[in-house]
Homo-oligomer: A and B are copies of this chain.
Amino acid sequence: MRSYAFGIDIGGTTVKCGLFTTDGTFIESWEIPTRSENNGSQILPDIAKTITKKIKEKNITLDDVEGVGVGVPGPVFDDGVVNGCVNLGWGVLDVKGQLSTLLSGLPVEVANDANAAALGEQWRGGGKGFSNVIMVTLGTGVGGGVIVGGRILAGAHGAAGEIGHITVNHHETERCNCGKKGCLEQYASATGIVHVAHKMLNESDRPSPLRSIDPLTSKDIFDAAKTGDPISLELVDYLGKKLGTALTAVTAVTDPDVVVIGGGVSRAGQILLDAVEKHYKEDAFRSTKNTDFKLAVLGNNAGMVGAVKMVLSKD
């Protein structure tokens, strides 16, 4: 019986590392810089080095380690091969094989970071106690992950869970970062709601405390909504409508127990959940109308927690 496991979440600037016991208890976390120069060739050796160092520091051996789970900001095939990762300078890269080799054959599992975060929230966060979970992350962009029976749905090209790029407005004239028009991300991300706010403020002279804030953030909009500002309430309702409607399509296809909403925008709390659920219920198919909505609870640790879960759930 091996006693320890590592969860690694590779970001564009730092790699978040976590040591856990194999019963899932968190011991400690630390960060190292992500060296993306030279096509990111140092990233996996750096991770192997920091793991080896931690093992020595703790007076344990490789034989005490069950494995290493890794979250990566790009599409990942089922076999642990990353299908290109612009932020890290990676093309197609066998992360599972290479990291395992660097760690003397230790088992390694790899997933997309949003999918790993969804698994983390399902295991230990907002989706705890449920095995079928949709996670949607409202940050700079809108990410997502689908957990089915406690496992990540990776998809044929490692691209499952791209909830942010469901088209929710066929009349949009501006483009999403992905090149399409009318993606959910254009309305429900932190930048999206601010963009919609600027448009709405420019279209009328209605008074709003938002007019005196520069630069405006999504938090400002939710804060003003909580004090009753009509324009801010409309903006929150609009986000709720776009996200709620997109989620009716997601749940019609996957029928989850619960939808977990995370990312910076979700710090708005109950006012966000209420706006989403209201529009969701108006438009959901009957079998999925009572799907639960929860806030994420693990914050930036979700990816690391989900990563380690992958090596604890082999069957």
Binding site for B on A (CB under 8 A): 75, 78, 130-132, 144, 146, 148-149, 153-163, 165-167, 170, 178-180, 183, 245-246, 248-250, 252-257, 283, 285-288, 291
Contacts and interface: CB of A to CB of B under 8 A. Distances in A.
* In the complex, the 7 A-B pairs of residues with the closest C-beta atoms, listed nearest first: A155-B255, A159-B287, A165-B285, A160-B255, A156-B257, A249-B249, A159-B255
Nearest to A161: B253
Nearest to A290: B157
* Copies of this chain, count: 2
29 contacts: A78-B149, A130-B156, A144-B253, A146-B254, A148-B148, A153-B254, A155-B254, A155-B255, A155-B256, A156-B255, A156-B291, A157-B255, A157-B288, A158-B255, A158-B287, A159-B285, A162-B287, A162-B288, A165-B252, A166-B252, A166-B253, A178-B285, A178-B286, A180-B283, A180-B285, A183-B285, A249-B253, A253-B254, A254-B254
Contacts of A180: 283, 285
A45 to B, nearest CB: 29
Contacts of A245: 167, 170
Q: Helix, strand, loop or mixed for chain A's interface?
A: loop
A144 B144 CA distance: 22
A144 B249 CA distance: 13
A265 B254 CA distance: 24
A48 to B, nearest CB: 29
Contacts of A288: 157, 159, 162
Most-contacted residue by chain B among A130, A132, A160 (CB, 10 A): A160
A132 B155 contact: yes
A252 B162 CA distance: 5
A146 B257 CA distance: 17
